[in-house]
Amino acid sequence: MAPAIEVRSLSRSFSGRGETLALDNVDLTVEEGELFGLLGPNGAGKTTLIKILSTLLLPSSGTARVLGHDVDADAKLIRKRINMVSGGEISGYGLLTIRENLWMFTQFYGVPGKVANERIDSLLETFGLQDKADAKLRTVSTGQRQKMNIIRGFATDPELIFLDEPTLGLDVTTSIAIRNYLRRWVREREGRTMMLTTHYMLEADELCDRVAIIDRGRIVAVDTPAGLKRRAGSGSSFLIETTPFDPEPIRSLPGVRGLTARPAEGHMSVRLALDDESVIADVISSIVSSGAKVIGLSKNEPTLEDAFMHLVGRGLE
């Protein structure tokens, strides 16, 4: 079976005032059924890659195959089977209602009428947009318009969907609802694939099976979110509050990478960097057997931001 997406030595440059190399020799494979994320700072090349894969832009060199077809030679075959939604885009006609807009988009794809209506109704309900179904698009809020855009993408029931910053500018509750829907969409349907771009680390972390970290047109790492965080080398971090004791013996416990202890009035704050979470049990027994009491314990997981910093040498913003 061909991978859902297969990119080989792909480059794309733009000429203008000087030449911009937006994608620089990118290799990437995404398997069918994956929820795959592209994470990177502004200008990294995420949108350019999505546009090439959704046949809106041609590569300058290299190849990209989507659902087994070449994006250059077989764009038409690809278009029928995919859809693309961009969080920042303005799409649809202001004078038509939300329902009429959605209907129109499904008809571009030749979705049979009855199926289209059922799907539109169900998606409007899922996204809490039934109340606005018959409102003219120009009268709805930016967030409602964006929800319509996302519905547009799913209403054609694509095998592969590209989402470029799907939750850009949406409020927290709406973003969570959308992420839940995205996750379910991939999980509950056989053989569906999703590629999304984001510069929200939490979104990439919570949602994606695998993430490609992209910076200045290059893919610097591809892994599961957990794998990327492991590469950050931070393991697990904990903060323990205790009654005073000598923390030095803890340093030599297996799996303890580092420790800083700050004594304060009547208690101590101990920061620990551990290889993994399981080491904390030994640390606690060591503290307790020294006669001290554990007053508080909190865990600080390394984030994808740590991973990005580790790989790229600077933060995401």
Ligand X SMILES: Nc1ncnc2c1ncn2[C@@H]1O[C@H](COP(=O)(O)OP(=O)(O)OP(=O)(O)O)[C@@H](O)[C@H]1O
List of residues contacting Mg ion (CB under 5 A): 46-47
The least CB distance from residue 22 to ligand X, in Å, is: 3
Helix axes 113-126 and 98-108, enclosed angle (nearest 10):
130
The least CB distance from residue 42 to ligand X, in Å, is: 3
Helix axes 142-155 and 172-188, enclosed angle (nearest 10):
0
The least CB distance from residue 162 to ligand X, in Å, is: 12
Question: What is the pattern of x (binds ligand X, CB under 6 A) and - over residues 179-208?
Answer: --------------------x---------
| Longest pairwise C-alpha distance within the chain | 74
Give the residue with the Cβ less far from ligand X, 168 or 177: 168
- Considering only residues 36 to 65 of the shown chain, the ones binding ligand X according to CB under 6 A are 40, 42-48
CB 317 within 8 A of CB 215: no
- Choose among ligand X, Mg ion, none what residue 199 binds, the Cβ cut-off being 5 to 8 Å by kind: ligand X
Rounded to whole angstroms, how far apart are CA atoms 165 and 159?
19
Rounded to whole angstroms, how far apart are CA atoms 166 and 182?
10
Of the candidate residues 22, 35, 160, 240, the single one contacting ligand X (CB under 6 A): 22
- Choose among Mg ion, ligand X, none what residue 14 binds, the Cβ cut-off being 5 to 8 Å by kind: ligand X
Give the residue with the Cβ less far from ligand X, 16 or 313: 16
CB 196 within 8 A of CB 182: yes
Q: 118 exposed, middle or buried (CB, 10 Å; 0-12, 13-18, 19+)?
A: exposed
Q: Using CB under 6 A as the criterion, which residues of the chain lie in contact with ligand X when the complex forms?
A: 14, 16, 20, 22, 40, 42-48, 199
